[in-house]
């Protein structure tokens, strides 16, 4: 019996190490391919340059960085209130039967391919924006609306778990003092669940900033720094996906360097989420 447990322990350890090894190889490959571009173009010039024209060796990704953050910010404006409101309803006000139906339904959104969201945005949102707000329709606004819907499962699931983790005695104490259900939620439950809700927002941000296909279909993919929510935009992920198929030489290395920048950004978001969640448990 003890030998079998030891064998299982060894197998699980090897499986865990294999996952870490694969991740390490991916990171090593991306940095190996991307660092030569930093060396040739210059890290500062690459990150702060405003022109992207690989044929002329003009390799500045600031428009894509700005586009990624603007689109992500718009998605958070759309997705965070909807996701948090839905989580509060499911956790605090819905009956057990209603929550058992609605929560899995919302989580099913995570299983819908991103190209489907992009197609819906292309056929519905882009013409609507073009007709009622002006501009080409392919814009920051269209991307933000699509991504705002796509991050709902992450925001709802993590926020719901954070709200349910608040001890029932907190709610009962407020209700015993004569407060309404909403007052108990607003004054006690939300402050107690704040770290988990912040972690949900950060994870949703990482989901939005890493999305590719849906954004390609509705963003317009123009390499300019957007000054309006009606301007077309290109994100870091879109830049890599659009040009990797035909890129060679320095151009290809620059796309891998773009991946390095994106990896650093998402790593910072994930580390921030871990710090927030750790602060919740203390």
DSSP string, the chain: -HHHHHHHHHHHHHHHHHHHHHHHHHHHHHHHHHHHHHHHH-HHHHHH---EEGGGTEE--HHHHHHHHHHHHHHHHHHHHHHHHHHHIIIIIS-HHHHHHHHHHHHGGGGS-HHHHHHHIIIIIHHHHHHHT-S-S-SHHHHHHHHHHHTHHHHHHHHHHHHHTS-HHHHHHHHHTT--HHHHIIIIIHHHTHHHHHHHHHHHHHHHHT--HHHHHHHB---S---STTS-B--HHHHHHHHTTT--HHHHHHHHHHHHHHHHHHHHHHHHHHHHHHHHH-
The pLDDT, as a whole number, for residue 256 is: 93
Given a cut of 70, whether residue 282 has pLDDT beyond it is no
When divided into structural domains, the chain yields a total of 1
CATH number at residue 160: 1.10.3720.10
Rounded Cα distance, 193 and 162, in Å: 5
Residue 167 lies inside a defined structural domain of this protein: yes
Given a cut of 60, whether residue 97 has pLDDT beyond it is yes
Residue 12 lies inside a defined structural domain of this protein: no
Domain of residue 225: give its range: 52-281
Find residue 233's DSSP bridge partners: 220
Given a cut of 80, whether residue 2 has pLDDT beyond it is no
Given a cut of 90, whether residue 108 has pLDDT beyond it is no
Residue 46 lies inside a defined structural domain of this protein: no
Given a cut of 60, whether residue 280 has pLDDT beyond it is no
Given a cut of 80, whether residue 26 has pLDDT beyond it is yes
pLDDT band of 279, cuts 50, 70, 90: low
Which pair of structure tokens corresponds to residue 278?
């750790």
pLDDT band of 248, cuts 50, 70, 90: confident
Residue 185 lies inside a defined structural domain of this protein: yes
Given a cut of 70, whether residue 64 has pLDDT beyond it is yes
pLDDT band of 249, cuts 50, 70, 90: confident
Residue 232 lies inside a defined structural domain of this protein: yes
Residue 21 lies inside a defined structural domain of this protein: no
pLDDT band of 168, cuts 50, 70, 90: confident
Rounded Cα distance, 25 and 16, in Å: 14
Place of tokens 């190490």: 17
Residue 223 lies inside a defined structural domain of this protein: yes
Residue 27 lies inside a defined structural domain of this protein: no
- Per-residue pLDDT of 170-217, as tens digits, reads 888 887 877 888 888 888 889 888 888 888 888 888 888 888 889 999
pTM over 0.75: yes
């Amino acid at each position: 019996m003890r030998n079998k447990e030891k064998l299982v322990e060894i197998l699980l350890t090897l499986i865990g190490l294999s996952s870490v090894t694969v991740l390490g190889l991916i990171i090593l490959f991306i940095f190996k391919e991307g660092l030569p571009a930093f060396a040739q173009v210059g890290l500062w010039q690459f990150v702060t340059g405003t022109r992207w024209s690989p044929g002329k060796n003009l390799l500045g990704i600031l428009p894509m960085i700005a586009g990624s953050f603007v689109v992500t910010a718009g998605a958070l404006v759309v997705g965070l209130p909807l996701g948090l409101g839905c989580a509060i309803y499911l956790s605090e006000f819905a009956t057990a039967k209603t929550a058992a139906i609605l929560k899995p339904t919302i989580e099913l959104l995570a299983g819908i391919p991103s190209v489907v969201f992009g197609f819906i945005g292309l056929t519905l949102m882009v013409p609507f924006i073009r007709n009622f707000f002006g501009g080409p329709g392919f814009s920051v606004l269209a991307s933000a609306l699509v991504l705002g819907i796509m991050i709902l499962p992450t925001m709802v699931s993590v926020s719901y778990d954070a709200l349910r983790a608040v001890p029932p005695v907190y709610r009962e104490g407020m209700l015993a003092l004569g407060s309404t259900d909403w007052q108990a939620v607003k004054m006690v439950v939300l402050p107690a669940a704040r770290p988990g809700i912040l972690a949900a927002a950060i994870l949703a941000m990482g989901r939005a900033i890493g999305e590719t296909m849906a954004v390609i279909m509705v963003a317009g993919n123009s390499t300019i720094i957007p000054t309006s929510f009606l301007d077309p935009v290109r994100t870091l992920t879109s830049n890599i996906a659009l040009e990797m198929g035909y890129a060679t030489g320095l151009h290809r290395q620059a796309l891998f360097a773009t991946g390095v920048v994106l990896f650093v950004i998402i790593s910072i978001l994930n580390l921030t989420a871990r710090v927030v969640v750790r602060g919740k448990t203390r």
